[in-house]
Structure 1
Amino acid sequence: MSAATEIGETRRQPSFGELFTPKLVTVLRDGYGLRQLQADALAGLTVAIVALPLSMAIAIASGVSPERGLYTAIIGGFLVSALGGSRFQIGGPAGAFIVLVASTVARHGVDGLILATMMSGVFLLAVGYLRLGTYIKFIPYPVTVGFTAGIAVIIFASQLSELFGLSLDGKEPGELIPKLQALAAAWGTFNPAAVAVTVLTIAIIAGLRRWRPSWPGMLVAVAAASTIAVAAGLPVETIGTRFGGIPRALPLPALPTPDLALMQAVLPDAIAFTLLGAIESLLSAVVADGMTGRRHRSNCELVAQGFANIGSALFGGICVTGTIARTATNVRAGAHGPIAGMLHSGFLLAFILVAAPLASYIPLAALAGVLAVVAWNMVEKTAFAALVRSSWGDASVLLVTFLLVIFRDLTEGIVVGFALSAVLFIERMSRAIAVETRRAVVQPDVADAAGGPRQSYDASEATDPDTVVYRISGAFFFGSASTVATVLDRLAGQRKTFVIDCSGVPFLDSTAANVIEGAAHKAQRSGVRLFIAGASPAVRRMLFAHGVRPPLVRYKASVERALKQVRIDGVS
């Protein structure tokens, strides 16, 4: 009998082409006409209206000039849609990257940022082609909620100087506490006009979201605030006064200067970009799947993110990832497929070519108001409260991740949060194991799946005093191995025949196999016959790999067959 037959029917593995065929190809192959193009054009225009102020605001908050955010949305967004594994994903600069990008610029300059972005693109290509995208889903929910909330706090803190129109002496610190101290020291430069522009921007966005949700609130708010600031001659800083406006064309693509020392210096930043970009883009694709009932190709999506980051870096842009808010806007606007995202990039390019001078009049306080709204929306407030109330373990992971992101580092917060989640998972799974005999429950404090006390093992078979059956239930791995080992060491030599029922073991690792091996050798030295019943093919293969094989033990498909064999052999 083949291994495939033993395991049972298995699903056909998708081919390389099926895994990495862009959704654009699928959509066009299924039939694409004028009606679909009209739907995608309207959705693309809607998303471009949302992305226009947001891309510039994110770039400025990241410590670079506003046009770099537009380059990112145009080049990166086009490649994400054209090559990606999601029908509706919108790529571009994301608020989640503000902290990482700003710190990279502060340490290594814009050249270091562009190099790190290109390296991140290469890493994302490797992650995608190695089919590691499937494992991104293993990031625990409390970690994602915690780091998203932490990023939101940092984004809001980064906009306080613009919100209040403060003028700092020297560079604004990146860390939260020094930043707040510097802002407090500069409070004497408070600008009421900047506060008025910020409040107006936030009020318009909030009002339109409530009474005119179909309107592009962010663009209307920025346009209104800019018009009022110019008409009233308000003394506020604008894109023009700080950056001199934005260019009216895309730059020519250029490779960053190869510098081995700089590559080594920005390697941690590139890895952080890769990790966060993969998480953010796949979360966004999952959101789109939930809204549409479609399924994205995760590894294909990561490959597209890799090409998009390389393309963005070639044109002087910053990190690209899937953006949840803009993707959701795309779906709500009635997009049919990836062409909507490609057209969104085209509309942004048209703005640069035609209306770039207008950007000079946009107050930085208005863009700060936009990011304040973004930060507020990033915090999953209901989920945060639910996790705090759910259990001490989830609350600990959430708060540790949240606080580390705010006061230490984003990558450190994710890594520590993930590690803490893993430890808690191991602890919980170790308590889910149970070993019971046909006569009594060895661990009466362990509840079954329904929450009640676990019943004793089939007492109707308790007729042979020289035969004992142990049933192991639950994942048998290193976390629970000591519990099972204690039971087996205590009972293994008390009967002539010893049956281990593994039918309730879905998984067994090498540590658990070593425990079984030790029990088997102890039974052999004591002259006890050992049977293993109900082991799945995967469990049996692991035991065989560790030497738990005949004649040391005998395998049977069920406890009943093992007991029947005992009677036939006349052991009992």
Structure 2
Amino acid sequence: MIDITGDRGSNVKNDVLSGITVALALVPEAVAFAFVAGVEPMVGLYAAFMMGLITSAIGGRPGMISGATGAMAVVMVALVAQHGVQYLFAAVLLAGLLQILAGVFKLGKFIRLVPYPVMLGFVNGLAIVIFLAQLGQFKITNSLGELEWMQGSALYYMLGLVGLTMAIIFLLPKLTKAVPASLVAIVTVTLLVHGLDLEARTVIDFVRDMLPAEQKASATLAGELPTFAIPMVPFNLQTLYIILPTSVILALVGLIESLLTLSLIDEMTDTRGSGNRECVGQGVANTVNGVFGGMGGCAMIGQSMININSGGRGRLSGITAAVVLLGFILFAAPLIEMIPLAALVGVMFIVVIGTFEWASFRIIRGVNKEDAFVLFLVTAVTVIADLAIAVVVGVIVSALVFAWKHAKHISAKTHTDNDGWKVYELQGPLFFGSVSYFKDLFDPQNDPQDVVIDFNESRVWDSSGVDAIDSLADKYQQQGKKLHIRHISAECRALMNKAQGYVEMNLNEDPRYKIATDKLG
């Protein structure tokens, strides 16, 4: 049985009202991302409905909103342009199956490997991307069919309505939290624009700007229920060759954005979602999209922030948003068409302010310049490229910084025992980054006849460390000296070549741990 509240801090009234607010914000973005991907508006709207409904019902994070997203839309462009929308549906279907497998094999836990500066960079980058995306609403189509920046009264009305929307959202919660401030702002601005017949572009104007001239007059958001249809593509290896690269990228981008958004909401609400369950939920939703004519998607940080800030905490909020969205598409499309874009832009600007991690400036002012560099890097790559590349780059750079720092942590205490043997008591990790420091600790030429290397306070992490021990043993052998290696694991000993004969085994004291190397696979 599905718990539609799904969180102890949720209630039905807040979830329903917040869901209605989110549904209003989903429409223009779903349409915009559909055009980004090169597909019809209804393909984006269907995706927003199916993603939102399924992930809210069976996903791993109550209160998180999923739908058609820009991060995934940009991946689809080339496939749609070259092979058509049916191949897109097939790619989304395969991406969903890959995401389900990720959940089944419990790969969602690897999101914990994303460092905090990478998370901050991801959030800040998305906030900037959301902000930049709204600037497109300040453009209009001129007589030549080209987009140009607003001027004169049109610009002033737009700025004034955006400011009014933001003011209502900011001030209303100080008076009452009985209803979501975003919903009140959208309704108020819509009534004001149409009541006073103000010069303001609406959602339907935005849709018409994206269409060829012959289709503008008949443009509408009205639609029908999505219908089941297997993608009309040949089911052979050639099709797999075409869609597999896109499917893999879609699956990765969708999971990364969804799991990072899940972690962000966990932190905001002081609760914890299930990453693996979210992988399965996203996968099922994308699989359904593939056979019901949707463009697929993933978690939407902007709409999720609207939902959380409006009081939506339970599964009912996402389900409500999806159902209301479908209701608008089927029965109330004219109402959506009437909403001024300025109201939606104002809502998204508030989202940008709330999404941006202002605490990141403390890291920038702090002494840890490496974290500040990673934060800036991930933010920049998110804006310039896409989320998946940014996170991968951030994790790699963070790992290299970590390796560089810990490479210097290896050291050795030396003393001479009662037998005149020189003992090196190692401390710190021995891995690819610390190999050069490890070799500098020893003096084979001037050391006595018998030398002991004690690994009791050290650990060999990879095959580079094992190779360094072999190399050191070879140097002592060339000097005609005896080397003794103590307290090393059986796995290390098995991988050694030249140093294997120098190991003094002590089954009671020797550690047991695995080494990161393919030889043990």
**TM-score, with length taken from structure 2:** 0.79
Displacement of 1:205 after TM fit?
1.7
Report if the CA contact (8 A) 2:31-2:42 is conserved: no
Question: Match of 2:402, SS?
Answer: helix
Unaligned runs of 5+ in 1: 1-23, 173-181, 439-461, 561-572
2:366 to 389, 392, 409: 389
Task: Determine if the alignment matches structure 1 residue 495 to structure 2 residue 495.
Answer: no
1:135 to 90, 105, 110: 110
Which residue is equivalent to 2:393?
A: 416
* Alpha-carbon separation, structure 2, partners of 1:282 and 1:58: 21
* Alpha-carbon separation, structure 1, partners of 2:174 and 2:467: 62
Report if the CA contact (8 A) 2:75-2:249 is conserved: no
Displacement of 1:227 after TM fit?
1.0
Which residue is equivalent to 2:464?
A: 511
1:198 to 139, 162, 170: 162
Question: Match of 2:447, SS?
Answer: coil
* Alpha-carbon separation, structure 1, partners of 2:343 and 2:440: 66
Which residue is equivalent to 1:453?
A: none
Task: Determine if the alignment matches structure 1 residue 436 to structure 2 residue 413.
Answer: yes
User: Structure 1 pair 210/166, CA: closer, same or farther in 2 (3 Å)?
Assistant: farther
Which residue is equivalent to 1:555?
A: 505
User: Structure 1 pair 340/370, CA: closer, same or farther in 2 (3 Å)?
Assistant: closer
Question: Match of 1:386, SS?
Answer: helix
Displacement of 1:273 after TM fit?
3.3
**Per-residue CA distance 1:122-148 (angstroms, 9 max, x = gap):** 332233234322223223332332233
Which residue is equivalent to 1:471?
A: 425
Report if the CA contact (8 A) 2:182-2:310 is conserved: no
* Alpha-carbon separation, structure 2, partners of 1:263 and 1:169: 42
Which residue is equivalent to 2:203?
A: 239
User: Structure 1 pair 208/331, CA: closer, same or farther in 2 (3 Å)?
Assistant: closer
Q: 1:345 is matched by which residue type in structure 2?
A: A
* Alpha-carbon separation, structure 2, partners of 1:411 and 1:168: 39
Which residue is equivalent to 2:515?
A: none
* Alpha-carbon separation, structure 2, partners of 1:214 and 1:113: 43
* Alpha-carbon separation, structure 1, partners of 2:491 and 2:431: 15
Report if the CA contact (8 A) 1:50-1:326 is conserved: no
Displacement of 1:425 after TM fit?
2.0
Task: Determine if the alignment matches structure 1 residue 228 to structure 2 residue 192.
Answer: yes
Which residue is equivalent to 2:436?
A: 482
Displacement of 1:316 after TM fit?
3.8
**Per-residue CA distance 1:506-531 (angstroms, 9 max, x = gap):** 45210101111233344455554444
Report if the CA contact (8 A) 2:474-2:499 is conserved: no
Displacement of 1:79 after TM fit?
1.9
Report if the CA contact (8 A) 2:130-2:302 is conserved: no
User: Structure 1 pair 214/73, CA: closer, same or farther in 2 (3 Å)?
Assistant: farther
* Alpha-carbon separation, structure 2, partners of 1:151 and 1:324: 8
User: Structure 1 pair 415/169, CA: closer, same or farther in 2 (3 Å)?
Assistant: farther
Report if the CA contact (8 A) 1:101-1:113 is conserved: no
* Alpha-carbon separation, structure 2, partners of 1:204 and 1:303: 38
Aligned pair count?
A: 489
* Alpha-carbon separation, structure 2, partners of 1:377 and 1:273: 27
1:174-323 pair list within 5 angstroms: 183=149, 191-213=155-177, 215-241=179-205, 242=207, 244-247=219-222, 249-258=224-233, 270-290=247-267, 295-323=272-300
| Greater shift in the superposed pair: 194-203 or 321-330 | 321-330
Which residue is equivalent to 1:126?
A: 101
Question: Match of 1:274, SS?
Answer: helix
**Per-residue CA distance 1:255-302 (angstroms, 9 max, x = gap):** 443278887677665444333321232233334544666554322321
* Alpha-carbon separation, structure 1, partners of 2:63 and 2:9: 18
User: Structure 1 pair 412/338, CA: closer, same or farther in 2 (3 Å)?
Assistant: closer
**Per-residue CA distance 1:36-69 (angstroms, 9 max, x = gap):** 9996643531441231122113224425476655
Which residue is equivalent to 1:93?
A: 67
* Alpha-carbon separation, structure 2, partners of 1:543 and 1:167: 75
Report if the CA contact (8 A) 1:56-1:67 is conserved: no
Report if the CA contact (8 A) 1:71-1:317 is conserved: yes
Report if the CA contact (8 A) 1:149-1:380 is conserved: yes
Task: Determine if the alignment matches structure 1 residue 72 to structure 2 residue 36.
Answer: no
* Alpha-carbon separation, structure 1, partners of 2:145 and 2:78: 13
* Alpha-carbon separation, structure 1, partners of 2:70 and 2:406: 37
Displacement of 1:410 after TM fit?
4.4
Displacement of 1:224 after TM fit?
1.2
Which residue is equivalent to 2:517?
A: none
* Alpha-carbon separation, structure 1, partners of 2:168 and 2:143: 29
Task: Determine if the alignment matches structure 1 residue 541 to structure 2 residue 479.
Answer: no
Task: Determine if the alignment matches structure 1 residue 54 to structure 2 residue 25.
Answer: yes
**Per-residue CA distance 1:380-427 (angstroms, 9 max, x = gap):** 121244246342222222222322333455444334333322322221
Q: 2:261 is matched by which residue type in structure 1?
A: S
Give the % identical residues: 28
Task: Determine if the alignment matches structure 1 residue 401 to structure 2 residue 351.
Answer: no
Which residue is equivalent to 1:567?
A: none
Question: Match of 1:144, SS?
Answer: helix
CA RMSD in angstroms comes to 3.9
* Alpha-carbon separation, structure 1, partners of 2:404 and 2:374: 14
* Alpha-carbon separation, structure 2, partners of 1:321 and 1:396: 28
Report if the CA contact (8 A) 1:405-1:413 is conserved: yes
Task: Determine if the alignment matches structure 1 residue 151 to structure 2 residue 126.
Answer: yes
* Alpha-carbon separation, structure 2, partners of 1:510 and 1:478: 8
Displacement of 1:214 after TM fit?
5.1
Report if the CA contact (8 A) 1:493-1:523 is conserved: no
Q: 1:108 is matched by which residue type in structure 2?
A: V
Q: 2:118 is matched by which residue type in structure 1?
A: V
User: Structure 1 pair 164/288, CA: closer, same or farther in 2 (3 Å)?
Assistant: closer
Q: 2:470 is matched by which residue type in structure 1?
A: E
* Alpha-carbon separation, structure 1, partners of 2:360 and 2:479: 56
Task: Determine if the alignment matches structure 1 residue 84 to structure 2 residue 59.
Answer: yes
User: Structure 1 pair 405/332, CA: closer, same or farther in 2 (3 Å)?
Assistant: closer
User: Structure 1 pair 407/294, CA: closer, same or farther in 2 (3 Å)?
Assistant: closer
Q: Which one has more relative contact order, counting CA pairs under 8 Å at least 6 apart? A: 2
* Alpha-carbon separation, structure 1, partners of 2:355 and 2:312: 23
Displacement of 1:432 after TM fit?
1.9
* Alpha-carbon separation, structure 2, partners of 1:548 and 1:211: 77
Question: Match of 1:251, SS?
Answer: coil
* Alpha-carbon separation, structure 1, partners of 2:243 and 2:183: 35
**Per-residue CA distance 1:109-132 (angstroms, 9 max, x = gap):** 682665554343233223323432
* Alpha-carbon separation, structure 1, partners of 2:446 and 2:55: 64
Question: Match of 1:381, SS?
Answer: coil
* Alpha-carbon separation, structure 2, partners of 1:193 and 1:344: 29
Report if the CA contact (8 A) 2:16-2:316 is conserved: no
